Amino acid sequence: MDKIYDVTIVGAGTGGMRVARRCASRGAQVALIDKASIGGRFLIRDAFLRKR
């Protein structure tokens, strides 16, 4: 069975994640697509700095 999304976001960096969260919080079914890991380099860097 096919899944139907209200919003499709290409790019799961900090901007894409922010838009996805906002759309989902307003009730939209969101598809988030990225070729790399979700969150991008900035979230990985931030998590590393917090562990120090």
The answer to whether residue 5 scores a pLDDT higher than 70 is yes
Whether residue 37 lies inside any domain: the answer is: yes
The count of structural domains within the chain is: 1
Whether residue 1 lies inside any domain: the answer is: no
Q: Can you give the pLDDT at residue 4?
A: 93
For residue 39, what are the domain limits? 7-51
Please compute, for residue 12, the number of CA atoms within 13 A of its CA located in the half-sphere on the CB side. 12
Whether residue 2 lies inside any domain: the answer is: no
Q: Can you give the pLDDT at residue 37?
A: 64
End-to-end CA distance of the chain: 46
Contact between 33 and 8 under an 8 Å Cβ cutoff? The reply is yes
Whether residue 38 lies inside any domain: the answer is: yes
Whether residue 35 lies inside any domain: the answer is: yes
Residues 6-52: tens digit of each pLDDT: 999 998 888 888 899 999 999 999 998 988 766 555 555 554 445 44
pTM of the model: 0.64
Whether residue 25 lies inside any domain: the answer is: yes
Whether residue 31 lies inside any domain: the answer is: yes
